[in-house]
Chain A
Amino acid sequence: MVTLLVAICFISFLLVKNSPIDPIQAYIGADMLKVSPEQRAKITEYWGLDQPVMMQFYHWGSAVLSGDMGTSMIYRRPVMEVIGERFTNSLALMLSAWVLSGVIGFVMGIIAAMKKGSWIDRLIKWYCFTLASTPTFWMGLLVLIVFAVWLGWFPVGMGVPAGVLAEDVTLLDRIQHLILPALTLSIVGIANVALHTREKLIDVLASDYVLFARARGKQGMVLFWRHGLRNVALPAITLQFAGFSELFGGAVLAEQVFSYPGLGQATVEAGLRGDVPLLLGIVIFTTIFVFVGNLLADISYRVLDPRTREGRKV
């Protein structure tokens, strides 16, 4: 993991350094004409842009190790602060979508598998396959059209109401602005879990021990509760945790559609406007985020499945 992280830092640093966007121009923006060549040279020197790339990487890397990722050019604040604030917003969004899509997907998968071959199974399967090929942002637009424009139930965008002071924003407001993006993310996120759960449960239902349980007269919910649930829940949970990477990708798009002030939107902004420190910080941060997801998946295996624990002892 450490080697991976270092390599990612290095590669993304190189990529960003080779960008055609001039960092000084991105920093100064429209006032470029007012800046004399001498001042320019000074900024270059101040940022160490005249040194070789390896030296720059070394400086940047050692700063990151001591917890300083530099200052974001767009927001004129330390990168850590921006990421922290944006991430709390995103976390609320991703967490609700994560739980929602996980639970709904899981239940749908179970229903489909228990009624395999019936119309409801076909409906769920069709729905999942279609959703798997739906662009997230298009889904977001549809949700926006239906709920915000036609029905007018929810605000059109932003994380908080416009024209209201930061202190006056209530929790209710925040939740209201959260619902639509979370809904979009969950609608799209369901497919994977549902299909996977369905496959697994069908396998389980075809196994010998279920056959035996059936022979003893068990059926329906009791059968599923005693024999199916634990076997199916495990892969589903693992899959949900391992899907952090996809989740973040979806969040980027959903936040863009709903102009929700989360980390995803910050990523897009940083990319569009050439905010190098922020972009690098986000790359590192998301890598850690995905890594944590995978780690949690591993841990959940240990906690939930007694067999893996036994295996460890032996």
Chain B
Amino acid sequence: MNTMPKKFPLNHKQWALAKIILAALLLALVIIGGLFLDEGRIVTNLTDRNSPPSLEHLFGTDWLGRDMFTRTIMGLTLSIGVGLIGALGSASIAMFLGMAAATMGKRADRLISWCIDLFLSVPHLVTLILIAFTLGGGFKGIVIGLTLTHWPSLARVIRAEVMQIRSADYVQVSRRMGKSRWWIALHHIVPHVIPQFLVGFMLLFPHVILHEAAVTFIGLGLSPHEPAIGIILSESMKYLSSGMWWLAFFPGLCLLIIVRMFDQIGENIRLLTSSDSNRD
């Protein structure tokens, strides 16, 4: 990793790696910042209300005098946390079902494909609202909702991949030699699917975070006491018409940047793991 030449230009893969490291560093910074920022900065401070962005309050303050920068960073940390759990759960379901569909015979395949169709045929957001409604919202509701709604597309990809590997010669040979299904799945198929899984996981992340913010925004997600981005934005709506644009602008922008970072990492991992170098 340290053998990167100092001279420009770097080649494609090195660029990709550099971008990944940079994005990861930034994310780490946000998380660390969120964990260590002083809680005291978001206590109500009525003497310093509604002030526009300045050096002391980078993103301005809200109508209770809370520092928006601190709130935003904390919200982002929360979002990343929820995103991590949601994406991990989703990707695991996708991995398991994708593998199962492709290795456990025709009937299982049909059943799982049917399930995928089932989840894809209702708009994500409606499913999320429904699940959040059932579980009464809150942290648990939203994480379960996110986990249950984001796996289908990745499951499809993994299933197709496994199908392809399954018909490869070495797998056929292995089967003829009397290896069991599980042995083949573990030793021949899983190693090939892992990169797909990783990339899929990273690319699920942005979706999960955005949906989390969206559901929270409409009021069915995290509770209003948490400093989540969705909460900040939905609160800011009341104050928009009085011209307090910074309440909405900066938190959203930060969310956008974070989501872009994850997207970047995912894309670049894909660049690194895929062998065909003809994509731009």
Contacts and interface: CB of A to CB of B under 8 A. Distances in A.
A137 B252 CA distance: 9
Contact of A268 (B120, B218, B256): B218
A137 B251 CA distance: 12
Contacts, number: 139
Given A133-B256, A149-B243, A16 B133 contact: yes
Interface string B117-134: 110111111100111111
A79 B176 CA distance: 60
Contact of A286 (B118, B123, B132, B206): B123
Interface string B24-57: 0000000000000000000000000000000000
A148 B248 CA distance: 15
B201 interface: no
Interface string B255-279: 1100110010000000000000000
Given A21-B136, A135-B256, A4 B218 contact: no
Contacts of B213: 135, 137
B130 A16 contact: yes
Of B217, B218, B256, most buried by chain A (CB within 10 Å of CB) is B218
A142 B248 contact: yes
B220 to A, nearest CB: 5
A37 B174 CA distance: 69
Nearest to A256: B218
Interface stretch (B61-69, B154-162, B181-189, B234-242): B234-242
Contacts of B129: 267-268, 271, 279
B263 A4 contact: no
A138 interface: yes
Contacts of B134: 15-16, 18-19
A20 to B, nearest CB: 4
B142 interface: no
A117 to B, nearest CB: 8
Contact of A138 (B206, B218, B255): B255
A138 B233 contact: yes
A43 interface: no
Contact of B136 (A20, A135, A138): A20
A290 interface: yes
A107 B8 CA distance: 36
Interface stretch (A45-53, A172-180, A245-253): A245-253
Interface string A30-48: 0000000000000000000
A169 interface: no
B210 A279 contact: no
Interface residues of A, number: 49
Contact of A248 (B117, B123, B248): B123
B118 A4 contact: yes
A160 interface: no
Contacts of A150: 243, 245
Interface string A130-161: 10111111100110110011100000100000
Contacts of A141: 233, 236-237, 240, 248, 252
A56 interface: no
Of B120, B122, B135, B256, most buried by chain A (CB within 10 Å of CB) is B122
B266 to A, nearest CB: 11
Contacts of A279: 129-130, 133
A19 B241 contact: no
Given A19-B133, A279-B133, A272 B219 contact: yes
Interface of B: 114, 117-118, 120-126, 129-136, 206, 210, 213-214, 217-220, 233, 236-237, 240-241, 243, 245, 248-249, 252, 255-256, 259-260, 263
The 8 A-B pairs with the shortest beta carbon distances in the complex, nearest first, are: A138-B252, A133-B259, A249-B125, A15-B134, A271-B129, A141-B248, A248-B123, A20-B136
27 contacts: A3-B114, A4-B118, A8-B121, A11-B118, A19-B135, A130-B260, A133-B210, A135-B210, A137-B217, A138-B248, A145-B245, A148-B241, A149-B240, A150-B245, A156-B240, A245-B120, A245-B122, A252-B123, A252-B126, A252-B218, A256-B218, A268-B220, A272-B220, A274-B133, A279-B130, A287-B122, A290-B122
